[in-house]
């Protein structure tokens, strides 16, 4: 494909856009990392140094820059659309799902995302920048809690340090219509308690609570566990309630068994939103449970559960499902303004 189109994207922005589109399409992680590594390699260079590498054709001597990424840098530096970017825009740009477009426009943010502080693939500032580019007014960073060691869950001390970093990012952004909010995806322990101190939970803006262990436990015990969690005064969102996996490179996993009506009624009583998890491999809750939660009267949160910047756009899938279920936008808490959201989450 010829590189004839003119582009206003500089080399770093072109590399980031390619990585975003690859993540959005759920392409192999190693491909994404190549473009993000190249962006990180040239970001610190002053224009004259980058120009020297271009003139001398020595870009590939920079750590993290290979032949393919060097071609992208060279094209973008010359004001052309790189061939790889043009190809990906043609294949992967546009809505991920045909339905739910009005609801997607109504969403103001995302309440469930991960960074490389736990099991995400990118720094929290990259997640924030991408959320801004998508038009979000807020993004809640919800890295995992300590018990989930396989996902590098945050101890109270690490979480406290992360909160300072979030403050620094927001200061740097200068309040330009976007806020990175402080959150957590906290494990629901076997007895229904939450896997973080109340002191730390109280310092957060929004809390998602999810079951990650013993997903196959007895239905009565799982019901008691989940109902108990909803009584915690600092719980805001019940994450991916069945824990199922329906496709993807992690294989499939059956949904947990529990009395869904009892759990959703407890959510209603505790003013806890039920998450519509937008990841295609989850589609959680299943349609029958989504409709049950709707009929019970629950609030909802349509979340990406993004572990990489490009996955933030997966909200499209959740919006399509919510529209198909006939859920009114005002029952979806991330259609609310930041002020209203925070008042609800911390009442």
pLDDT digits (tens, 9 = 90+) for 58-105: 999 999 999 999 999 999 999 999 999 999 999 999 999 999 999 999
Peptide bond just before 285 cis, omega within 30 deg? yes
Positions of CATH 1.10.150.110 in the chain: 11-92
Strand ranges across the sheet with 179-187: 109-110, 138-141, 179-187, 206-210, 237-238, 273-277, 300-303
Q: CA 72 to CA 69: how far, in whole Å?
A: 5
pLDDT at residue 174, as a whole number: 83
Cα-based distances in Å from 143 to 21, 113, 334, 342 = 23, 7, 18, 19
Model pLDDT, residue 141: 98
CATH 3.20.20.140 residue spans of the chain: 101-345
* pLDDT for res 1: 39
pTM of structure: 0.93
Measured CA to CA, the distance from residue 139 to residue 336 in angstroms comes to 13
Per the CATH hierarchy, to which homologous superfamily does domain 11-92 belong?
A: DNA polymerase beta, N-terminal domain-like (1.10.150.110)
User: CA-to-CA distance for 321 and 323, rounded, in angstroms?
Assistant: 5
What is the assigned CATH class of domain 101-345? alpha beta
How much is the pLDDT for 40?
95
Backbone dihedral angles phi then psi of residue 214, each to the nearest 5 degrees: 50, 50
pLDDT digits (tens, 9 = 90+) for 221-242: 999 999 999 999 999 999 999 9
Residues of the chain with pLDDT under 50: 1-3
Q: Please report the pLDDT score of residue 5 as a whole number.
A: 67
Q: Which residues have CB under 8 Å from 88's CB, separation 6+?
A: 18, 21, 22, 25
- Check residue 3 and give its pLDDT: 44
Interstrand relation of 237-238 and 179-187 (parallel, antiparallel or unpaired): unpaired
Cα(33)–Cα(23) distance, integer angstroms: 10
């Amino acid at each position: 494909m010829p590189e004839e189109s003119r582009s206003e994207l500089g080399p770093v922005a072109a590399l980031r856009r390619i990585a975003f589109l690859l993540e959005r399409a759920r392409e192999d992680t190693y491909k994404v990392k190549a473009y993000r590594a190249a962006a990180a390699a040239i970001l610190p260079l002053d224009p004259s140094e980058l120009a020297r590498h271009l003139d001398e054709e020595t870009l590939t001597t920079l750590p993290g820059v290979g032949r393919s990424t060097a071609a992208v840098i060279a094209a973008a530096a010359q004001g052309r659309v790189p061939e790889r970017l043009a190809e990906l825009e043609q294949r992967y740009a546009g809505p991920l799902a045909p339905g739910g477009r009005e609801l997607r426009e109504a969403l103001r943010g995302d309440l469930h995302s991960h960074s490389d502080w736990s099991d995400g693939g990118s720094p929290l500032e990259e997640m924030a920048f991408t959320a801004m580019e998508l038009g979000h007014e807020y993004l809640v960073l919800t890295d995992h809690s300590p018990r989930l060691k396989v996902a590098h869950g945050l101890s109270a001390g690490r979480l406290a340090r992360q909160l300072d970093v979030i403050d620094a990012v927001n200061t740097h952004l200068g309040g330009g219509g976007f806020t990175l909010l402080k959150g957590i995806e906290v494990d629901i322990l076997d007895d229904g308690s939450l896997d973080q101190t109340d002191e730390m939970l109280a310092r957060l803006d929004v809390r998602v609570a999810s079951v990650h262990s013993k997903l196959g436990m007895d239905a009565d015990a799982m019901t008691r566990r989940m109902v108990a969690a909803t009584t915690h005064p600092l719980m805001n969102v019940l994450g991916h309630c069945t824990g199922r996996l329906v496709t993807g490179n992690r294989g499939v996993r059956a949904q947990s068994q529990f009395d869904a009506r009892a759990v959703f009624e407890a959510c209603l009583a505790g003013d806890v939103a039920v998450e519509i998890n937008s990841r295609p491999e989850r589609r959680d809750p299943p349609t029958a449970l989504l409709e049950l939660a709707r009929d019970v009267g629950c609030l909802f949160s349509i979340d990406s559960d993004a572990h990489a910047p490009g996955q933030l756009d997966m909200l499209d899938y959740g919006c399509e499902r919510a529209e198909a279920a006939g859920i009114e936008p005002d029952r979806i808490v991330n259609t609310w303004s930041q002020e209203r959201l925070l008042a609800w989450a911390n009442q």
